[in-house]
Structure 1
Amino acid sequence: MATPSDLDQLIEMGFDKERAEIAVKKAGGLNGALQWLEDNQDKNIEDLRASEAAAQPESDETNPNIEPAPLKEGEEAKSMVCTDCGKKFRSMLQVQAHAERTYDSPVAPLDDQALSNRVHAGKHENFEQSTEEIAPLTEEEKKQKLAELLAKSKEKKAKQAIIDKEEAKRNEQIRMKSTKEVSDAKEKLARDQQIKEAQAKRAEKAADIQAKKRIQEKIAADKEERRLKAEAAKALREGRAPPVEKVAAAPAPTAAAGPPKVHTEARLRLQTATGTLTKTYPVDTTLFEVSSNCRGSSGRSTASPRPIPRRRSRAPLISQRR
């Protein structure tokens, strides 16, 4: 049976405590534990735990998977030999570990014929008892085997570290890509919202400008109408003709902006003693011609009650002031 010193030695050699405990329990000694650790170094601790929990103690005679060849009369079995590869083992636990390690289970399901060919080609299941005693490992051999196990473990950890690093890199790339896509979607949504708000503000501002313009035009029209009415009433009180009111042309729609129109005629509405005259004259018609035309139409004089002031130069007045 294994002694506590075997477990302590394995721990001092650098092996994991739980893995070393399983090795000592399985192999039953330091040399067997080292061999078991070498045979099971590729298995992780979870698989070893599951195997330990599911394992049931079996004697060499009751194990149905291993049928060693019988010894001759008087001979004593001191080791086991795998006839498939020639490797020697100290205990049945090492034989079982070797048989399990050489069995490569397929990833995909195979038919019966393919599975049979695969099993016979890969699994070592032929063992014989041997009278040859395997000498215990010397201190130098223990150190060498330990160095080999540690080197293999270090290499395995390095490979696993590379795999973990690549996996972490891929996960980070996926996370960054997902984060960037979410960020881009949020930025696009915010940008579209800003554009909509800016368009709404421009439309509201344009509507306010048009409303103010209509109000100003309405105020100006009312003011002009009141002014014309006041002047007409004043002219009637003074017994003179009311001022001539020009019919303003309807403003062109602002939406249909085009080249400026050239007007060649002017429409005048004249208030006389006999009524109102509305006539159209060329734009270059003088007031004398308009007066003559109106006199011919009504048969009465259309002289203006007030003389039209003449424009005088202010140059002499400016010279006198200086």
Structure 2
Amino acid sequence: MSTTDLDQLIDMGFDKEKSELAVKKTGNLTEAIDWLDKNADKSIEELKEEESKAAEEKSAEAAAQAQSLVCNECGKKMRGVAEAEFHASKSGHSDFSESTDEIKPLTEEEKKQKLEDLRQKLAAKRAVLSEQDKIDAKRNEQISRKKTKESEDIKEQLKVKEQIKEAEKKRREKQDDIDAKKRIQARIAADKEERRLKAEREKAERAGQAPPPMPAAVPQAAAPSTSKPASAYTETRIRFQTPSGNVMKTFPVDTTLFEVASAVADEIGQDVESFTQNFPRKTFDKEFFGETLKDLKLVPSASLIVR
């Protein structure tokens, strides 16, 4: 090969010493490039050692007047062992024999055409990789956006639930204050009436008069009933009988039985398969795990045996 081939290899970014070996070991620019790609991971010392061995083999071939090698599987002719090894690594062929046919070197036009074909092939490969990179980047972006939206939706749902629970808590506190005030007012009124009647009796006794008849007992203002329908409760308290002991937990009434099972499993350190209620007797297996505590009528309290 000419110095022009070596210069082109160096211009393409290949190491000078390796390029010289490639020029020496192969018969044209195209195969020199392939040889350099194949041996990119080898050191210059390893390559020189291989060159020495190849030279010995070449001498042996010259002694036998062999001018080339031929692949018996595809018929391709090669100048030496290095080309045969490269062909075997690319094609998987392994049946080679010596040939007395001499392979003519490529003309300058053929070299230029081979180099142009290689450049076009490399450009096409890079274009395919670039397009695939764009597709992968777009898909990754879509996955990231979907995860972000799902996370934001979950946060928004939790926020709404917390707002509802807080509003219900304030409503209960307000109602409790109203009921307490009513009880105090009723107690004050009863005490006032009792003092008035006592004063009238004492006045009658001092005047020597018969005391006024005792009025019917003033009814005590009944404390507002604390009982309310199950539908009015927002939370329920459940006692769980587990193999390791009893566990008390409070859940919002819209909690699913699956969520309850997960919470109990975390508490006792083992999976929950079902719950059993003694009265009324009923077993809630995984078929019921998608229903809420309210739907299963486990409000405002319940006792369940964990299985």
Q: TM-score range by the shorter chain?
A: 0.5 to 0.7
Q: Per-residue displacement from partner, 1:73-98 (whole Å, max 9, x unpaired)?
A: 7x573x44333323233443222211
Alignment gaps of 5+ in structure 1: 104-122, 258-322
How many angstroms apart in 1 are the aligned matches of 2:42 and 2:159?
A: 58
Structure with the bigger percentage of strand: 2
**2:133 aligned with 1:164, yes or no?**
yes
How many angstroms apart in 1 are the aligned matches of 2:16 and 2:141?
A: 36
Q: CA deviation at 1:101?
A: 0.5
Tell me what 1:294 maps to: none
How many angstroms apart in 1 are the aligned matches of 2:6 and 2:94?
A: 29
Tell me what 2:105 maps to: 135
How many angstroms apart in 1 are the aligned matches of 2:95 and 2:153?
A: 61
Q: CA deviation at 1:218?
A: 1.8
How many angstroms apart in 1 are the aligned matches of 2:218 and 2:5?
A: 120
**2:180 aligned with 1:219, yes or no?**
no
Residue 34 of structure 1 is aligned with which of 30, 33, 36? 30
SS in 2 for 1:59: helix
Query: Residues 88-103 of structure 1: matches in 2 within 5 Å?
Result: 88-103=77-92
Percent of paired sites with the same residue: 39
Which entry has the higher C-alpha Rg, 1 or 2? 1
Q: 1:30 to 1:91 in 2, by over 3 A?
A: closer
Q: Per-residue displacement from partner, 1:261-309 (whole Å, max 9, x unpaired)?
A: xxxxxxxxxxxxxxxxxxxxxxxxxxxxxxxxxxxxxxxxxxxxxxxxx
How many angstroms apart in 2 are the aligned matches of 1:232 and 1:68?
A: 145
How many angstroms apart in 1 are the aligned matches of 2:140 and 2:97?
A: 47
Q: Per-residue displacement from partner, 1:86-119 (whole Å, max 9, x unpaired)?
A: 323344322221111112xxxxxxxxxxxxxxxx
Residue 59 of structure 1 is aligned with which of 53, 57, 73? 53
Tell me, yes or no, if the aligned pair for 1:231 and 1:242 is still in contact at 8 Å. yes
Q: CA deviation at 1:163?
A: 3.3
Tell me, yes or no, if the aligned pair for 2:69 and 2:77 is still in contact at 8 Å. yes
Tell me, yes or no, if the aligned pair for 2:66 and 2:98 is still in contact at 8 Å. no
Query: Residues 248-267 of structure 1: matches in 2 within 5 Å?
Result: 248-249=218-219, 251=221, 254-255=224-225
Q: 1:236 to 1:48 in 2, by over 3 A?
A: farther
Alignment gaps of 5+ in structure 2: 229-307
Tell me, yes or no, if the aligned pair for 1:83 and 1:126 is still in contact at 8 Å. yes
Q: Per-residue displacement from partner, 1:199-246 (whole Å, max 9, x unpaired)?
A: 433333332222222222222222233333344545656677748745
Tell me, yes or no, if the aligned pair for 2:70 and 2:98 is still in contact at 8 Å. yes
Tell me, yes or no, if the aligned pair for 1:84 and 1:125 is still in contact at 8 Å. yes
How many angstroms apart in 2 are the aligned matches of 1:102 and 1:23?
A: 24
Tell me what 1:82 maps to: 71
How many angstroms apart in 2 are the aligned matches of 1:243 and 1:28?
A: 137
